Every structure is written in structure tokens, then in C-alpha cells.
DNA sequence: CTTGTAAATGTTATATTATTACACAGTGTT
DNA sequence: AACACTGTGTAATAATATAACATTTACAAG
């Protein structure tokens, strides 16, 4: 049974915006888009983003400083993430591949150390851009 | 045979600083440290960093906005990187594990798409911090 | 040796991303 | 009521990164 997170007003506004977006959104672009809804300051956006990341509803694409809604319903853990990023059109997709996540979750370094959390970003050209 | 990159003056100053550092360095911390050597502006630092990243002498730790010297002599490609990051003491190590890099380089997503470049960051507690 | 060109430098200003500090409001528990 | 916890609002500022422009250096082609 998943934990239910009742989003607060600001969290909901910002999650809805990110969730509807076909591409990752940056914090200040979010800010400009929600000013009509009464969210006026960067901090209000960052606080909502922090919380949404924490509960796994969104992820941060670190190499782009942008945020994307979780596309993987089993991702409440939120801390084991993988993405593919097109270097031409900047399309980003969340990868949900059981083998990959198992492989990475079980990976042990030279010292035998394991890591429960990871973030993986793949870069290349998406299908569309490759065929151009 | 590796390509020889003759670093320019600024590139060398900045690489040497990063290479000597036991921890990843941030751009403005680099700037403060090289002002005595005549590098005065952020852009001079960022330009050198960009070049050093491009030729694989350093890597950017995306989740920390910090830069670390390549600890893996076979990393000239520079675009397939993996790190372990301690969430307590912020120690960062580059992982050079042939199986891991082969696995990731050969990974194909649901659409059969392969990616030559990736960046992987593992998070956890290092040995020291775990035993505390 | 001169001309062309790519890479690197220097400088100023500015854009973008993110946090600190403080005051207060809502909710649920004891 | 007293408390703890989470969320909100606002202002100021810190930290990270790039744009625009002028100049210089390295080096190969002619
Ligand atoms: Zn997810
Ligand atoms: Zn594309
Ligand atoms: Zn390396
Ligand atoms: Zn540690």
C-alpha cells in the first residue's frame, strides 16, 4: 500500500504544471507560470519542488537543473532514477527498466560498498533527431 | 596512443588546483584560489573548466556543481562517468569498474536505443561515516 | 615572413539558479 | 490551552553560470 501524500495548495499547483508539461521545467519558468495563481517568490517554488522531489512525485534532471514528473508509478522511493536525454532536442524520458534498476541497486564497488540511491543520466540522440 | 592535450596557462593553473584537491571544488572556490595567479573573472574559470571537462581531465559532479580530477587514466573519452558520493562527509570517488561501464555502454532502452554517454552518481555513506 | 584561422585571454555586465532569515497561519495532538 | 509540525508569504541576498565585445597567442598554409 502506497503512502498517500496529500499535496498542499502550492505543491499541487506546481505538480500539476510539471505533470502537464511535455518537457522538464526549470524553477524560474515554473515561477513565471504560476504567478497568476498567487505564487510570487522563488522560495515558494523551491519549497514545493523540494517536497515533491522528496516524496518522489517529481525528479530533478541534474544536468539540466530542471524538473520532470515521475513517469514510473513505482518510483515513490524516488531515489533510484534513470533518464535518457536527447542532446539535440532535449527530450527527457524516465527509464524504468527492472534489470537496470536491480543491477544498479545491487552494484558493489571495489570496497564491497553498496548504494541504495543513485541517479543515472544517459545522453544521446532520440529517434527523431537521429533520423534527421 | 592517447591524444596529447597541451593545456594552456589558465587551464593548467586550474587543473593543477583541482588535481591537488582531496575533494571536488566549486567554480567560485577555484576562482578565489587562483586570483593570486592573475585569474580574475568567473568566465576565465568556466572557460578552463569547460575545456578540461571536454578533454576528460576533470569531471563535473552534477549533483554538487563541483569538479574533480579524473582518477581513471583511461577516461579520455570523458563521457561515461560514475561516482560514489557520501551524503554525510561529501567524499566523492570516481568508480572505474569495467563490468559497470560495459553494462551501461551496452544498455539499450525499451526502444532499443543505445547511449554512448552517461553519468551515474551513487549516493550513500562512505566507510568512515557508516562506522560512526 | 605574412596571412589566415582557431583557440585562448581579459574585462564588464548580466542572467540564472538557489538559499537565508524572519514572521505568521493552519492542522492535529495532548 | 499548549505544543509540535508543516506550510505560507515576503524581502533580501548568495551562488552558479553566461553574453557580449575586444584583443592576443599559437600555429599552419601559402
Ligand atoms: Zn520516477
Ligand atoms: Zn531529440
Ligand atoms: Zn574519469
Ligand atoms: Zn563519508
Q: Domain residues of chain B, as ranges? A: 9-130
Contact B34, B47 (CB under 8 A): no
Helix (H, G, I), strand (E, B) or coil at A74: coil
Measured in whole angstroms, the distance separating CA B25 from the mean position of its chain's CA atoms is: 10
Cell 537496470 sits on residue: A100
- Chain A: closest CA distance from residue B27 (Å): 16
Spans of chain B below 70 pLDDT:
1-5, 74-78
Residues with CB under 5 A from ligand 2 (ion): A 86, 88-89, 91, 126, 129
User: β-strand A66-69 against A58-61: which pairing, if any?
Assistant: antiparallel
Spans of chain A below 70 pLDDT:
1-5, 74-78
Instruction: List the beta bridge partners of residue B117.
Output: A123
d(CA A92, CA A24): 7
Q: Given this model, what pLDDT does residue A132 score?
A: 74
Closest nucleotide C1' to the C-alpha of B47 = C8
Q: Given this model, what pLDDT does residue A74 score?
A: 57
Q: Given this model, what pLDDT does residue B1 score?
A: 38
Q: Given this model, what pLDDT does residue B3 score?
A: 47
Query: Where are any strands of DSSP class E within chain A?
Result: 58-61, 66-69, 80-86, 92-94, 117-124
Instruction: Put the strands of the sheet holding B80-86 in their side by side order.
Output: A92-94, A80-86, A117-124, B117-124, B80-86, B92-94
A17 inside 8 A of chain B by CB:
no
What is the domain class of A9-130 according to CATH?
mainly alpha
Contacts of B104 in chain A (CB under 8 A): 120, 122
Q: Given this model, what pLDDT does residue A66 score?
A: 98
Measured in whole angstroms, the distance separating CA B107 from the mean position of its chain's CA atoms is: 22
Q: Given this model, what pLDDT does residue B116 score?
A: 83
Q: Given this model, what pLDDT does residue B119 score?
A: 98
- Chain B: closest CA distance from residue A37 (Å): 30
Q: Given this model, what pLDDT does residue A2 score?
A: 45
Query: Given B100, B118, B124, which is nearest A123 (Cβ)?
Result: B118
Contacts of A112 in chain B (CB under 8 A): none
Q: Given this model, what pLDDT does residue B77 score?
A: 61
Amino acid at each position: 500500500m502506497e503512502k498517500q501524500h496529500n499535496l498542499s495548495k502550492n505543491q499541487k499547483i506546481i505538480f500539476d504544471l510539471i505533470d502537464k508539461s511535455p518537457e522538464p521545467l526549470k524553477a524560474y519558468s515554473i515561477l513565471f507560470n504560476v504567478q497568476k495563481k498567487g505564487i510570487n517568490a522563488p522560495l515558494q517554488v523551491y519549497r514545493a519542488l523540494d517536497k515533491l522531489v522528496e516524496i518522489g512525485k517529481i525528479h530533478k534532471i541534474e544536468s539540466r537543473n530542471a524538473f520532470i514528473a515521475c513517469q514510473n508509478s513505482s518510483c515513490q522511493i524516488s531515489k533510484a532514477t534513470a533518464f535518457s536525454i536527447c542532446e539535440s532536442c532535449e527530450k527527457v524520458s524516465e527509464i524504468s527498466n527492472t534489470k537496470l534498476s536491480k543491477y544498479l541497486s545491487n552494484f558493489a564497488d571495489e570496497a564491497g560498498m553498496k548504494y541504495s540511491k543513485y541517479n543515472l543520466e544517459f545522453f544521446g540522440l532520440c529517434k527523431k533527431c537521429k533520423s534527421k
